[in-house]
Amino acid sequence: MTDPTRPLHTERHDASDGAKLNWLRAGVLGANDGIVATSGLVIGVAAAQAGQGALLTAGLAGLVAGAMSMAVGEYVSVSTQRDTEQALVAKERWELANEPEHELAELTGIYEAKGLTPELAREVAVQLTAHDALAAHAEVELRLDPEEFTSPWEAAFASAAAFTVGALIPFLTILLLPDAWKIPATVVAAALALAVTGGVSARLGDASVPRAIARNVGGGLLAMALTFAVGRLFGAQVA
C-alpha cells in the first residue's frame, strides 16, 4: 500500500520550490524596474544636454530613491502578508485547542476530497493529528509552515539589491562613456539587459521566451524614447 503521508511530503517540497520561484521572479522584476527607471532617468537628463555632474547626481538619486522605494514597498507588503499568516495560524491553534473533534473531522474531509476512502482518510487524519496537529492543518488548509514565515527584512533587502543591480547597468554605461556614445550605448545596454530579464522571467513562468523578450525590450525602449523626448523638450526650453 502506498504510504498515505507521501502526498504531504510532495506538497511541502512543491510549496518550497514555489516560494523559491516567487523569490526569483521578484528579483528579476526588481532588476527590470531598476533598468527601465534608471535608463529612462539618465537618458532624459542627458537629452537635456546636462553635464557630467548632473548625470551623476540624477543617476545616484534615482538609484537610491528607487531602491528604497522598492525596499519599503516590499517590507510593507510582506509584513502585511506575515501578519495575516500569523493570525491564521493563531486561529488554527485556538480551534485545535477548543474544537479538536471538529478539526479532526475537517482534516478527514480534506483527505476524503483528495480521493482517500473515508476509513483511510480518518486514519491519516488521526495519525497526523497525533504527530503534529497544527502543522498538519496549516499545511493542507492554509498552505503554510507554522514554523517558517517570510521575513519582511529579507524581502526588502532582496528587492533593493535587485533594483540596484539593474540600475547600475544604464547608470555606469552613461556615466563612463564619451558624450557622443552616452545615449545610444545606454539604450543598447538597457535593451540587452531587458532581453536577459525578459528571457529569465519567461523561463521561470514557462511562457514564450521570444514574446516576453519582445514585450520587455519594447516597453523599455518606449520608456527611454519618452524620457528622451521630455529631456530634449524641456532642456531646449530652459536653454
Asked if 230 and 45 count as a contact pair (C-beta separation under 8 A), the reply is no
C-alpha cell at 13: 517540497
What would you report as the CA-atom Rg of the chain, rounded to the nearest whole angstrom? 25
Name which of 4-13, 146-155, 214-223 the model is least confident about. Answer: 4-13
Residue 1 domain-assigned (yes or no): no
CA distances to 77, 148, 155, 177, 203 from 82, rounded to whole Å, are 9, 10, 11, 45, 28
Residue 65 domain-assigned (yes or no): yes
**Domain residues for 19?**
6-238
Task: Report residue 7: phi and psi, to 5°.
Answer: -60, -35
Surface-to-core class of residue 119, CB atoms within 10 Å of its CB (0-12 exposed, 13-18 middle, 19+ buried) = exposed
What is d(CA 151, CA 154) in angstroms, rounded to the nearest whole number? 5
Q: How confident is the model at residue 116 (pLDDT cuts 50, 70, 90)?
A: confident
What total number of domains does the chain contain?
1
pLDDT tens-digit series, residues 94-112: 988 898 888 888 888 888 8
Residue 145, strand partner residues? 148
Residue 48 domain-assigned (yes or no): yes
Residue 54 domain-assigned (yes or no): yes
Residue 11 domain-assigned (yes or no): yes
Residue 73 domain-assigned (yes or no): yes
Cβ-based neighbours of 122, under 8 Å, separated by 6 or more: 108
Residue 125 domain-assigned (yes or no): yes
Residue 97 domain-assigned (yes or no): yes
Average pLDDT, rounded, for the chain: 84
CB neighbourhood size of 8 (10 A): 17
pLDDT tens-digit series, residues 162-186: 999 999 999 999 999 998 999 999 9
Cβ-based neighbours of 61, under 8 Å, separated by 6 or more: none
Q: How confident is the model at residue 226 (pLDDT cuts 50, 70, 90)?
A: very high
